[in-house]
Structure 1
Amino acid sequence: MRLTVIGTGYLGAVHAACMAEIGHEVLGVDVDEAKIAALAEGQAPFYEPGFPEVLTRNLENGRLRFSTSLADAAAFGDVHFICVGTPQLPGSDAADLRHVDAVVEGLGPHLRAGALVVGKSTVPVGTASRLAARLREFGDVQLAWNPEFLREGFAVEDTLRPDRLVVGSTDPRSEQTLRHVYATMLNDLTPWVGTDLATAELVKVAANSFLATKISFINAMAEICEATGGDVTTLARAIGYDTRIGERFLRAGVGFGGGCLPKDIRAFRARAAELGCDESVRFLADVDAINLRRRVKVVQLVREAVGGSLADRSVAVLGATFKPDSDDVRDSPALAVAAALHGEGARVTVHDPRGLDNARAARPELDYSPGAEKACEGADVVVHLTEWPEYLELDPAELADVVAAPVLVEGRHTIDLAAWRSAGWEVHALGRP
């Protein structure tokens, strides 16, 4: 089929390349001319394992190309995927839908009769029905909603081999068209959930709200462990054996971040309040508050580890991205903690395997080092905040020779604390004695 993907950020670029990978002809469209030019040259605008290879392969075989014209998109495609961002509105928890609306207004007048527009952006419930009504004003144009469930670091795998496909529509023709688009996945027995527009919109925010709740739950238990001398890692392992609970997302630490979970749960609360259902999701305010408190707790641990004041102390921060296998620093707990330490007078040097450029652009006041060992030179305390595999390979005995004081604050519960203690390090960890 001939598909267009409107918006070539993280979601859109991956979706466009992967749709070409399974055999469709794809046109990616964006208003950012520099981004489109880079993609057309095979230059990935972000770090995502496997994406550069898929991008290059499909540019070379001719199934993928890029444009800045919505008119070209309407003339080219049978199915048009909306993949633009829905950030948090400044000064509000609500989602900013201007980019989604701009796509509909810009694309609509050029669409052929029978065209299908498919939303993949995360939007407040009720948005799809509003957009469907607007598209009908342009003629025989259908709308479906097909939420994305990508994990940064696994986006290519999640697109090519999803754990489910959710499609909301009001017309059987739309569902049939999307079954054809995703035939490769359906042949691999990927579960298909066909539903109405509102439910499809809710699936994404409900999933993210549940994951955020699970993370904040174990971090709330970490707070109790800190007050009682308990060990949250043992607690998490013990309850995780219960198959009704499961071990995934039960690792306590500095909390969640990124461009999705924080803003999605806030937008969900804002929309629920508009619908008069704010009591139903009031707990998400606590989920958000617990998550943000863990950042404060890490700063407190670091302050205590260096004797009560961070003024003129040298701090090495290992990790800037919100998670490994990504260069994304949006709402990153690691970078937020680094900035807070700097705000209390510390000299902060940050290392990250992939996210230094983005971190430097977001927080130019911090110092950055291209090497983890180099970042730790002369440090009064080392703070581990993103669970990159490279940090697990650091030799604590060798690192002890370059720091000013062998003091570690562990914010992710992935480092072998016993090995570091055996090498002479003083170790402080969230939720552990």
Structure 2
Amino acid sequence: MKISVIGCGYLGAVHAAAMATLGHEVVGVDVDADKVAALTSGRPPFFEPGLSELLVKGQDLGSLEFTTDVSRVADSQMHFVCVGTPQKPGEFAADVTYVDAAVNSLVPHLSSTSVVVGKSTVPVGTAERLAAILAPTGASLMWNPEFLREGHAVEDTLHPNRLVYGVAEGEAGERATENLDEVYATMLEEQTPRLVTDFATAELVKTAANSFLATKISFINAMAELCEASGADVTQLADAIGMDDRIGRKFLNAGLGFGGGCLPKDIRAFMARAGELGADQAVAFLREIDSINMRRRVRIVDIARDTLDGSFIGKKITVLGAAFKPNSDDVRDSPALAVARLIATQGGVVTVTDPQAIDNAAKTFPELNYVADASQALAGADAVLLLTEWQEYRDLDPVATASLVAGKVLIDGRNVLTPEVWRSAGWTYRALGRP
């Protein structure tokens, strides 16, 4: 099919490249000329494993192009809206300005056979409002939420674990469903589960899922606080309760908590929209989820300071990790950078290293020191904080690392190292929720 993708950021670029490799003719549209140029050359302006290869493949096949000219979408049958919905400044609510602008830009180029597919994460009720804007064109609207994990977005797009379609009742909804089934034929042939529902349910799926995951993460981090008070081990506690198949072990990893551009802003937008609908009490617990998550950052700083005899002043601190998670260069609401900045404000001389996120981190917090090479960053450190669990940091050898530092103090902010191994090499090892 002929497809357009409006918005070529993280979601849109991956979606466009993936659809092109599946055999569709895809045009990606973005207002940022530099981004379009980078994508056209096969160099995405962000790090995502496998995406560059996918971009090159799509363009080699002649099935993928990027442009700033929205009129190029005129002969496309399906139009995917993939723009961002950031948190409004000073508010919890999501900003849907870009979604509205994307849909309005499409209107002059739509016909009664066109289908507009929303993939952006929006407040419930947005689709119903946008459908009214599209009504004069005769085009159909549907909502198809994305469930991408940064670092695994290519795999998640080509081989999703479910497909959700939010459609209008009647013939228009049936036609839109048939068209999207054709786009996703390869996934459906792989027996990917598909759920067809109404607009509102489809809009709620992503934010509800993220709120549940955030709740699970913050629950085990709350247990970590109790473990610290009682002398228990939160990793063993998580193993034990995770054996219950009603609970499961995934996302029961105590540590520095979540960050990034989705989970924090999505649960806050969820609360804001619930309040607008008069259902704020139903999600009031999410405020405590958010609070628990933010407390983890302060707690790891407290542990590090206490381990250094109560002061960071004049101490050289090496922070391993700047991205909010491994296999990404995304530093939005990064717990690692938040901790690094807190330590710097308390007198520590902080050096941050990361395999991919140094440039983005330096733009966000230019007052910190950044070194790309981990060995160079570790040289002379009085304490080391592992705050983003890149595999290369998990694989560090405690004996070899000890030869680089001035003080053998390790704060494992992600609970991914084996305490006995590091302690036997002479390190003082501390972690959240562990004796």
For the aligned pair, the TM-score class normalised by the smaller chain equals over 0.9
* C-alpha deviation, 1:110, in angstroms: 2.1
Counterpart residue number, 1:133? 132
Q: Deviations over 1:219-253 (max 9, x none)?
A: 00000001111100000000001111000000000
Distance 1:158 1:421 in 2: 39
Q: Which amino acid in 1 is paired with 2:106?
A: L
Alignment of 1:11-410 (within 5 A): 11-73=11-73, 75-137=74-136, 139-170=137-168, 171-410=173-412
- TM-score (ref. length: structure 1): 0.99
**Structure 1 counterpart SS, 2:313:** coil
* C-alpha deviation, 1:109, in angstroms: 1.9
Q: Is the 8 A contact 1:3 1:27 kept in 2?
A: yes
**Structure 2 counterpart SS, 1:76:** coil
Q: Is the 8 A contact 1:380 1:405 kept in 2?
A: yes
Q: Is the 8 A contact 1:4 1:76 kept in 2?
A: no
**Structure 1 counterpart SS, 2:28:** strand
**Alignment partner of 1:424 is 2:401:** no
Q: Is the 8 A contact 2:383 2:407 kept in 1?
A: yes
Distance 2:381 2:234 in 1: 28
* C-alpha deviation, 1:311, in angstroms: 1.5
Distance 2:193 2:6 in 1: 26
Distance 1:250 1:132 in 2: 40
**Structure 2 counterpart SS, 1:383:** strand
* C-alpha deviation, 1:353, in angstroms: 0.8
Q: Unmatched 5+ residue regions in structure 1?
A: none
Distance 1:279 1:334 in 2: 32
Q: Deviations over 1:180-221 (max 9, x none)?
A: 110110011000000000000001111000000000000000
* C-alpha deviation, 1:43, in angstroms: 1.1
Distance 1:175 1:76 in 2: 20
Distance 1:429 1:182 in 2: 44
* C-alpha deviation, 1:144, in angstroms: 0.2
- TM-score (ref. length: structure 2): 0.98
Distance 1:76 1:417 in 2: 60
Report the aligned-residue RMSD.
Answer: 0.8
Distance 2:314 2:139 in 1: 63
**Structure 1 counterpart SS, 2:124:** coil
Which 4+ stretches in 1 moved above 3 angstroms?
Answer: none
**Structure 1 counterpart SS, 2:250:** coil
Percentage identity across aligned positions? 60
Distance 1:316 1:417 in 2: 19
Distance 1:63 1:49 in 2: 21
Q: Which amino acid in 2 is paired with 1:89?
A: K
Distance 1:392 1:70 in 2: 45
Distance 1:149 1:401 in 2: 43
Q: Which amino acid in 2 is paired with 1:76?
A: D
Distance 1:88 1:325 in 2: 24
Distance 2:424 2:282 in 1: 49
Q: Is the 8 A contact 2:112 2:140 kept in 1?
A: no
Distance 1:392 1:386 in 2: 10
* C-alpha deviation, 1:76, in angstroms: 2.8
Counterpart residue number, 1:8? 8
Q: Deviations over 1:238-280 (max 9, x none)?
A: 0001111000000000000000000000000000000000000
**Structure 2 counterpart SS, 1:214:** helix
Q: Which amino acid in 2 is paired with 1:174?
A: A
